[in-house]
């Protein structure tokens, strides 16, 4: 099946026919999934959290289940609010001058 490109049609009324194997234009930036690419975002997924914390996936699971770190469950995904994670970890901080 051939696709018709009506945006670049010449003024003479001819219609350009695009080949199916021709690479298509990239989507505009606003259509990309921003939550996966921004490093300064507030909510991160488990993979991004594990990249920031030196703990195993099982330890992260245990902390989440026991309530030591806050999370938001959306469908099957667990999202973590990074500032809240930092606060929770700082509350557990021990040592130092008192």
State yes or no: pLDDT of 35 exceeds 70. no
What's the CATH class of domain 40-93?
mainly alpha
CB 40 within 8 A of CB 4: no
Domain boundaries, the chain: 40-93
How far is residue 23's CA from residue 70's CA, in Å, rounded to a whole number?
A: 44
The pLDDT, as a whole number, for residue 37 is: 46
State yes or no: pLDDT of 23 exceeds 90. no
The pLDDT, as a whole number, for residue 95 is: 82
How far is residue 18's CA from residue 45's CA, in Å, rounded to a whole number?
A: 39
Higher pLDDT, 45 or 98: 45
State yes or no: pLDDT of 29 exceeds 50. yes
């Amino acid at each position: 099946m051939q696709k018709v490109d009506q945006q670049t049609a010449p003024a003479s009324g001819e219609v350009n026919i695009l080949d199916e194997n021709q690479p298509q234009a990239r989507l505009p930036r606003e259509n990309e999934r921003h939550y996966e690419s921004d490093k300064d975002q507030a909510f991160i997924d488990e993979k991004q959290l594990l990249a920031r914390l030196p703990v195993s996936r099982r330890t992260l699971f245990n902390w989440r289940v026991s309530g030591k770190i806050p999370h938001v469950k959306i469908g099957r995904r667990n999202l973590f609010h990074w500032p809240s994670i930092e606060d929770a970890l700082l509350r557990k901080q021990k040592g130092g001058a008192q």
